[in-house]
Every structure is written in structure tokens, then in C-alpha cells.
């Protein structure tokens, strides 16, 4: 299959990467719905692979979301407006935009409270049964498409999605110039949290990981200290001591970007009384952790699910250079059958791959 | 040993207190008070309640990481009458009836300066070793931690301000208000004061659960909208969550786990609505195994509670206005003699019908 769409009569056939079964992705036609008055049609140009995409790819599920029928994969995307609906005033053809993936209902109490990320009727790109956006084109509400400034690339636009998780976490945890923070896990989410925390003014940031290479990236991206830790549960106390030593002052907020018993235990033990632990990494269902001693020090555990109202801020951070996400994009692939398979394999492998990006 | 202090040969009363001298061993013995500082008052104790932590110290000589290494006066939930005031004390006079806030913080550390003095690492708290408690004829205490009782609030109610403060502090941290529908796990003394506080903060609907029928009936009498009997079996959680949600009939905004076990915490995490809060008040186990991730993925936050801060004025106002009535919680009363001290602790330890056991001195 060649890259991009096939010219078919006078209309291009829209193609997308469909998840058909476990580890089975196929580029196939993707028929778009008609354009509603408040929708836009976007030619997708950049799309990043997320851990959840890989999880869907490998297991056909992610937490409570189960892929029961073929579904287009992918959700971290940006592109160029091709067509606008009749009521769309804020965007025109040719505008480069970053897409916020989730369409909430606008009627439930969560939406009306402004916590639309918790909407039970949320339709989110690449979360079954909603088709994703690894496609030539998608149709999307205009209000979820954010125009990119001239100095922000389409790849950076696609990076707004993972960056949003970090930004949302920093908001919920109230990161500011007085919060010294610990980040557990130096993968893509740990790194965007690092960048976001710095942008929110965190004065001192210590990051941990089991992998030296990932720690070196974190150091390069501005972590004050990088501490290598193990997966050995016996060593938690010793590691907490090393982390606190590296911080040199009280740890106000810890972000667990991994989400295991061990990482959460480390976070709960390392954080100062009255501080916060933000659980971002969603790995296990049941966790065994020293919750009581932490609660008895009035440490609060803050939950994070995706993000809300973060795109304008992300774009502004990128525009001003307060955040530079470009170093996170380590691998690039085109939109062909062979390349999408390689891309997912690369992302799944981890290692030196942080963000794998498609250029369409 | 008679009730009250013993007269010494020189005519001065000897101050007596209930000392924890060993495992399961309480003895009424002399308790020498320090000289009165300029900002302190001497208080004649009149009412002292027994707390679960007092019982725990009696039975095990420890509570969490606090260890009783030498004899210690027990008791901390107290109220009494001012006998003498220090030279710089302007706000209180002898004869004033006061409720005592047990903990003296340092006022120099970051926590104190931020107003979170309950987290002060140097906190000196009645009957948390090595600090002596207040089950005694008299104690010396900072005047700023003695709160004058309104005329219509009794000394026993004054002593109840201490456990009530836990409920009040939890309601504040969880931001309970006229829109928060509340679930309370556990209908023991702490569950009950939390329920009373939540109602006073305006909670429109409160469901309370427990394993014990009697405690549930007390909760119903005290104003719970619905009561549900639950088990100790983890397997029953999904069914119980369904029952609880049905009883609430609307989304559960805040859950208070006043028991602090895996089952109660797991139930609370599952039952609370997305974006809600679960307040961990009870301290059952060190390590807990709970469905933390699914809760976090619904942005259910877990709020920690340790004692209280700045709660006495509000508790006294609630009692004065009748917004809260703690009197039904006082189920057993004892005097201050060796035998009665032993009987009182045994009654409190037994649980059952006993909610708050109160000493009258």
C-alpha cells in the first residue's frame, strides 16, 4: 500500500490504521461522517503513539475499555483544516490545528461543573468504540481544534496531548514556585510532567527511574537531580532516603507516573506531611501501599484522568518556549502498512524510544 | 483511694492522676504539676472521656509509632474549671469553665507557621508518650488552648469537643457543604461525631454503615438518613456498594472511612462518585490493599486526617446553638477512683453498647 490516499474517481479515499485484532493493524478505507455545522474536516499531519495505543494493540483492551470490533487507532494528533462547517467562525481552511481527542456530552453534571474529562458519555479518539485519528483525515468539532501559532510545528501540536496530562496533573497538585517535587518514572509521561512542573515554576525537581538512559534524558531536559532506583521492594526505604537526600529539602508533591505498589509506596513515604501524591500512572487495579501512615500525615492522594482545558496553555507554553517538547520525539515513521507496524513495534519496545511520531 | 485529691499534712491538696504504669495496669498516684508559667492556667479536671487510643495504650503500651517507655498519665479528652491563671493571662479567670485542646505545638516550624499545627513534629499532646495526659485532679496548660464554655454547654460536652473536633476537621478538609452527600463507614464514636459534624456543615443526605445493628440504630437515632449493615467479607463489596448507592439514591460526593480497613476503604473508593473525595479518618492497618488506581482514574481523591486544628471555637458554637447534640454519645459514667478507673477502661475496651465512657471528677 502506498503512502497516503488513493485517488479514486475525483475523491480521495480516506485511509486509516484499523486495529482488527491482537497485534493486527491494517490500513484500510475509513469513511468519514458528513460535516456538521460545528465540525471541521482535518487532514492529519502528525500523530504520536501513546502507551494506551500500544496496550490496545497488544491486548485489545485498556482498563475497562474493550475493543469489540475493528477500530481506528491513535489520538495524539495535529493537522490542517480542509473544510469547515457552516457555523464555524473561528477556523478557516489551511489553519494548522492541534486536536483535543475527547468529545464530552455537555449535559451531565461533570461537564457542567467543568470537569468534562470525567464525562461518562465521553467519546475519545482510539478509546473503543470511538474511532481514533491515525488516518488521512478526520471530522471533529471545531471547538476542540486549537490553532497553532506560526512558530509551533504540527509535531509539537500533536505533543500537546501527552503534555496535557502533565499540565493537568500540575494544576490538580497546585504546582507553583514553592513546590519542590519528586517525579517517579522518566518515561514520556514522567518527562512531560517534568516539563510542565518547571513551566509552573517548581523550584526543584528530582526524577527517578530504573533506566539510566531515561534518567540522562531527564537530566538533559532540566531535572535538578536524577536518582536511579530498582524494582526491589526491600530497597524502598533506602531509596526514599536517597531521594530525600537528593532533594535537600521537603518534598511537597510527588507524581507517580508509573503506578505500581512500589512507586506509590516510595511516593507516600518520601512526601512531607501535608503534601500531595498525584497518581498518574494507571498500571494496576489493586494496590498494596502504606496508605494509613501517609493519611496520618495528612498526605492527600490526587487522582488524574486525562486532562481538561489544557490545550490553550500547552500551546502558549510551546509558543513562548517555556516548554520544548521536541527532544521527546525520538522516532518518526510514515503512513504505510510496513511503517505503522514498525512504529508500534518501536514504541512497544520502549528503551530509547520516547515518543514515536507519524508524519502523514 | 477517695474521689478527688488527697489532703497532705500541710493542708495542700496532693494532685492525683491515673498513671499507665505497665501493660493493662493503671494506678492512681500523685502527679506533681510544674510551676505555672505566665501564659498558663491551672485547671481542675471535671470531665474526661476515654478514647480508642487511650485503650490501645493501656492494652499494648503503644499506638502507631508512639511507645510508652515510662509511666505516663493517661487521658486527653477533657474539660474543667480554672483554678489559677498565670501573670500574663488576660482572657480567663478562676472559676471559668473550659474545654482543653490537648496538643501544644512549637509555633516555630513551617507547619505551625502555615497554620497546620496538627502536623508539628514537636507536638506535645496529652497522653501521647512521653507527654502526660489529663486524667488527673488538676493539670497545667497554656491558656490559649483552654476554651471557655458557653453557659448552656456542660463540662461533659466540653470534653466531647475533642472527638467532635476530629469529625469537624474531616468535614473541613473534605469540604462538606449543603451539596455534599456523605457516606460514613463505621458507626463507632468517630463515625458518629463525623456524621454529626457533616450534618452541621449542611450535608443534605448521610448514609452510614457498620457491622453492628445496635450501633446502626444509634446512628439512625442521631439523624442518619439511612443505615446499612455490612459484613467483614471482602467478597461482599460489590453487592454492598450497590446497596449503599441505592440507599443514597444520588451520587456520593464524600465518603469518610472511620474504620480504616481494606474493606471499608475499598468500599468507599468504589462507592464515591467521579471527582469525589474519600477521607481516611480511621487508622486500622499500616499497609492497605485497595483499588486505588480505578479510583484515581476517576479523580477520586484520598484525603488524609490527623487529629484537628482550630476546631474548638466551632465545636463550642455548634454545641451552644444546638446544631450538634453530643450528649447521646455519652453512654457510661465513672468516678475517679482506682476501681472505677479500671472498670471504665474495661467498659470502653469492650465496645458493644459503650460509645463514649466519661469520667466525672
ipTM of the complex: 0.87
CA distance B185 to B179: 19
Cβ-defined contact of B289 to A288 (cutoff 8 Å):
yes
What pLDDT is attached to residue B286?
A: 87
Average confidence (pLDDT) over A208-221? 96
Closest residue, chain B, to A302 (C-alpha): B301
H or E element: which one contains A48? Answer: strand A39-48
- Kindly report the nearest CA distance between residue A96 and chain B, in angstroms: 32
CA distance B120 to B137: 28
Cβ-defined contact of A289 to B287 (cutoff 8 Å):
yes
Residue B289 contacts A, CB cutoff 8 Å: yes
Minimal Cβ distance to A279: which of B116, B260, B296? B296
SS3 assignment, position A143: helix
Cβ-defined contact of B287 to A290 (cutoff 8 Å):
yes
| Cα–Cα distances in angstroms (integers) from residue B43 to residues A318, B13, B165, in the given order | 64, 14, 21
CA distance B122 to B87: 26
What pLDDT is attached to residue B197?
A: 98
Q: Rounded to the nearest 5 degrees, what angle is found at the Cα of B170, between the Cα atoms of B165 and B175?
A: 125
What pLDDT is attached to residue B6?
A: 55
Which residues on A lie below 8 Å from B288 (Cβ)? 288-292
Cβ-defined contact of A285 to B294 (cutoff 8 Å):
yes
Which residues on B lie below 8 Å from A250 (Cβ)? 110
What pLDDT is attached to residue A72?
A: 97
Which residues on B lie below 8 Å from A110 (Cβ)? 274-275
Minimal Cβ distance to B291: which of A118, A250, A286? A286
What pLDDT is attached to residue B3?
A: 40
- Kindly report the nearest CA distance between residue A77 and chain B, in angstroms: 23
- Kindly report the nearest CA distance between residue B274 and chain A, in angstroms: 7
Q: Average pLDDT over chain A, rounded to whole?
A: 95
Beta bridge partners of B332: B357
First and final C-alpha spacing in chain A: 14
Which residues on B lie below 8 Å from A291 (Cβ)? 265, 280, 287-288, 290, 292, 302
Average confidence (pLDDT) over A185-191? 97
* Statement: residue A1 has pLDDT above 80: no
CA distance B41 to B51: 24
What pLDDT is attached to residue A3?
A: 47
Cβ-defined contact of B299 to A288 (cutoff 8 Å):
no
Those residues whose C-beta lies under 8 Å from the C-beta of residue B160, and which sit 6 or more positions away, are B49, B77, B193, B319, B326, B329, B330, B356
Residue B305 contacts A, CB cutoff 8 Å: yes
What pLDDT is attached to residue A283?
A: 83
The answer to whether B334 and B360 are in contact (CB under 8 A) is yes
The answer to whether A271 and A295 are in contact (CB under 8 A) is no
Average confidence (pLDDT) over A50-66? 91
What pLDDT is attached to residue B12?
A: 73
How does pLDDT run across A291-334, given as a tens digit for each residue?
Answer: 999 999 999 999 999 999 999 999 999 999 999 999 999 999 99
Residue B128 contacts A, CB cutoff 8 Å: no
Those residues whose C-beta lies under 8 Å from the C-beta of residue B128, and which sit 6 or more positions away, are B53, B63, B66, B76
* Statement: residue A2 has pLDDT above 50: no
Cβ-defined contact of B291 to A291 (cutoff 8 Å):
no
Which residues on A lie below 8 Å from B293 (Cβ)? 259, 279, 282-287
What pLDDT is attached to residue B355?
A: 96
* Closest C-alpha to B185, from B244, B273, B249, B238: B244
Which residues on A lie below 8 Å from B302 (Cβ)? 291, 295, 300-301
Cβ-defined contact of A285 to B293 (cutoff 8 Å):
yes
- Per-residue pLDDT band for A210 (boundaries 50, 70, 90) equals very high
Residue B350 contacts A, CB cutoff 8 Å: no
Cβ-defined contact of A286 to B284 (cutoff 8 Å):
no
Based on DSSP, count helices (H) and strands (E) in chain A, helices before strands: 10, 23
Based on DSSP, count helices (H) and strands (E) in chain B, helices before strands: 10, 23
Buried b (16+ CB within 10 A) or exposed e, A238-269: ebbebbbebbeeebbbbbbbbbbbbbbbbbbb
Which residues on B lie below 8 Å from A260 (Cβ)? none
Those residues whose C-beta lies under 8 Å from the C-beta of residue B11, and which sit 6 or more positions away, are none
* Closest C-alpha to B129, from B49, B56, B183, B193: B56
pLDDT by residue for chain B (361 residues), tens digit each? 334 455 555 667 899 999 999 999 999 999 999 999 999 999 999 999 999 999 999 999 998 889 999 999 999 999 999 999 999 999 999 999 999 999 999 999 999 999 999 999 999 999 999 999 999 999 999 999 999 999 999 999 999 999 999 999 999 999 999 999 999 999 999 999 999 999 999 999 999 999 999 999 999 999 999 999 999 999 999 999 999 999 999 999 999 999 999 999 999 999 999 999 999 999 888 899 999 999 999 999 999 999 999 999 999 999 999 999 999 999 999 999 999 999 999 999 998 899 999 999 9
CA distance B243 to B59: 36
- Determine the longest span between alpha carbons in chain B, in angstroms: 70
Those residues whose C-beta lies under 8 Å from the C-beta of residue B105, and which sit 6 or more positions away, are B111, B112, B117, B118, B120, B122, B123, B124
Which residues on A lie below 8 Å from B290 (Cβ)? 286-287, 289, 291
* Closest C-alpha to B244, from B281, B210, B202: B210
Closest residue, chain B, to A273 (C-alpha): B119
Phi and psi, residue B46, nearest 5°? -120, -30
- Kindly report the nearest CA distance between residue A100 and chain B, in angstroms: 19
Average confidence (pLDDT) over A30-46? 97
Which residues on A lie below 8 Å from B181 (Cβ)? none
Amino acid at each position: 500500500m502506498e503512502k497516503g490516499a488513493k485517488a479514486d474517481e475525483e475523491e480521495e479515499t480516506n485511509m486509516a490504521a484499523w486495529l482488527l485484532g491482537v497485534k493486527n493493524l491494517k490500513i484500510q478505507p475509513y469513511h468519514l461522517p458528513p460535516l456538521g455545522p460545528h465540525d471541521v474536516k482535518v487532514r492529519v499531519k502528525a500523530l504520536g503513539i501513546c502507551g494506551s495505543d500500544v496496550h490496545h494493540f497488544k491486548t485489545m483492551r485498556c482498563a475497562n475499555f474493550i475493543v469489540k470490533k475493528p477500530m481506528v487507532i491513535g489520538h495524539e494528533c495535529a493537522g490542517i483544516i480542509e473544510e469547515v462547517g457552516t457555523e464555524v467562525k473561528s477556523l478557516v481552511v489551511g489553519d494548522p490545528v492541534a486536536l483535543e481527542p475527547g468529545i464530552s456530552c455537555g449535559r451531565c453534571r461533570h461537564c457542567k461543573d467543568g470537569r468534562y474529562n470525567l464525562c461518562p458519555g465521553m467519546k475519545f479518539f482510539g478509546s473503543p468504540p470511538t474511532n481514533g485519528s491515525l488516518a488521512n483525515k478526520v471530522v471533529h468539532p471545531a471547538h476542540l481544534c486549537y490553532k497553532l501559532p506560526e512558530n509551533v510545528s504540527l509535531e509539537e501540536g500533536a505533543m500537546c496531548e501527552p503534555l496535557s496530562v502533565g499540565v493537568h496533573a500540575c494544576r490538580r497538585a497546585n504546582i507553583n514556585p514553592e513546590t519542590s517535587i519528586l517525579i517517579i518514572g522518566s518515561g514520556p509521561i514522567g518527562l512531560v510532567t517534568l516539563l510542565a512542573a518547571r513551566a509552573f515554576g517548581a523550584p526543584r525537581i528530582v526524577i527517578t527511574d530504573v533506566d539510566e538512559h531515561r534518567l540522562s534524558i531527564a537530566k538533559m531536559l532540566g531535572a535538578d537531580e536524577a536518582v536511579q532506583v530498582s524494582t526491589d521492594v526491600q530497597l524502598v526505604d533506602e531509596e526514599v532516603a536517597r531521594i530525600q537526600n537528593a532533594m535537600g529539602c521537603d518534598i511537597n508533591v510527588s507524581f507517580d507516573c508509573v503506578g505500581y505498589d512500589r512507586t506509590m509506596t516510595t511516593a507516600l513515604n518520601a512526601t512531607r506531611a501535608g503534601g500531595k501524591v498525584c497518581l498518574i500512572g494507571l498500571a494496576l487495579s489493586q494496590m498494596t501501599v502504606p496508605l494509613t501512615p501517609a493519611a496520618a500525615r495528612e498526605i492527600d492522594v490526587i487522582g488524574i484522568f486525562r486532562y481538561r482545558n489544557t490545550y490553550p496553555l500547552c500551546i502558549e507554553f510551546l509558543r513562548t518556549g517555556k516548554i520544548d517538547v521536541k527532544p521527546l520525539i525520538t522516532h518518526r515513521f510514515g503512513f504505510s502498512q510496513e511503517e505503522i507496524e514498525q512504529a508500534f513495534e518501536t514504541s512497544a519496545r520502549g528503551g530509547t524510544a520516547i515518543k514515536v511520531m507519524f508524519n502523514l | 483511694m477517695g474521689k478527688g485529691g488527697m489532703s497532705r499534712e500541710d493542708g495542700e491538696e496532693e494532685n492525683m492522676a491515673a498513671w499507665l504504669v505497665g501493660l493493662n495496669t493503671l494506678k492512681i498516684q500523685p502527679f506533681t504539676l510544674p510551676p505555672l508559667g505566665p501564659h498558663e492556667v491551672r485547671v481542675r479536671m471535671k470531665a474526661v472521656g476515654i478514647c480508642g487510643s487511650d485503650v490501645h495504650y493501656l492494652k499494648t503500651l503503644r499506638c502507631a509509632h508512639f511507645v510508652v517507655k515510662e509511666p505516663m498519665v493517661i487521658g486527653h479528652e477533657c474539660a474543667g474549671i480554672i483554678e489559677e491563671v498565670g501573670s500574663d493571662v488576660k482572657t480567663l479567670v478562676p472559676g471559668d469553665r473550659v474545654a482543653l485542646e490537648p496538643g501544644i505545638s512549637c509555633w516555630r516550624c513551617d507547619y505551625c507557621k502555615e497554620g497546620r499545627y496538627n502536623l508539628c513534629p514537636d507536638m506535645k499532646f496529652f497522653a501521647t508518650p512521653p507527654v502526660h495526659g489529663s486524667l488527673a485532679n488538676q493539670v497545667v496548660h497554656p491558656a490559649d488552648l483552654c476554651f471557655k464554655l458557653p453557659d448552656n454547654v456542660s463540662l461533659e460536652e466540653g470534653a466531647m469537643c475533642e472527638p467532635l473536633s476530629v469529625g469537624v476537621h474531616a468535614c473541613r478538609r473534605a469540604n462538606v457543604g449543603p451539596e455534599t452527600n456523605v457516606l460514613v463507614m463505621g458507626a463507632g464514636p468517630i463515625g458518629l461525631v463525623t456524621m454529626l459534624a457533616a450534618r452541621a456543615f449542611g450535608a443534605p443526605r448521610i448514609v452510614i454503615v457498620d457491622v453492628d445493628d445496635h450501633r446502626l440504630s444509634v446512628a439512625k437515632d442521631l439523624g442518619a438518613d439511612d443505615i446499612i449493615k455490612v459484613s467483614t467479607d471482602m467478597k461482599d463489596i460489590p453487592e454492598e456498594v450497590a446497596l449503599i448507592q441505592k440507599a443514597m439514591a444520588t451520587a456520593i460526593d464524600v465518603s469518610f472511612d472511620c474504620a480504616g480497613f481494606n474493606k471499608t476503604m475499598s468500599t468507599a473508593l468504589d462507592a464515591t462518585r467521579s471527582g469525589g473525595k474519600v477521607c481516611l479518618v480511621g487508622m486500622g492497618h499500616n499497609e492497605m490493599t485497595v483499588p486505588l488506581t480505578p479510583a484515581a482514574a476517576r479523580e477520586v481523591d484520598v484525603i488524609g486526617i490527623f487529629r484537628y486544628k482550630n476546631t474548638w471555637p466551632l465545636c463550642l458554637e455548634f454545641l451552644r446553638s444546638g446544631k450538634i447534640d453530643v450528649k447521646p454519645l455519652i453512654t457510661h459514667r465513672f468516678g475517679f477512683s482506682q476501681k472505677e478507673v479500671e472498670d471504665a477502661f474495661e467498659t470502653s475496651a469492650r465496645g458493644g453498647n459503650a460509645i463514649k465512657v466519661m469520667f466525672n471528677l
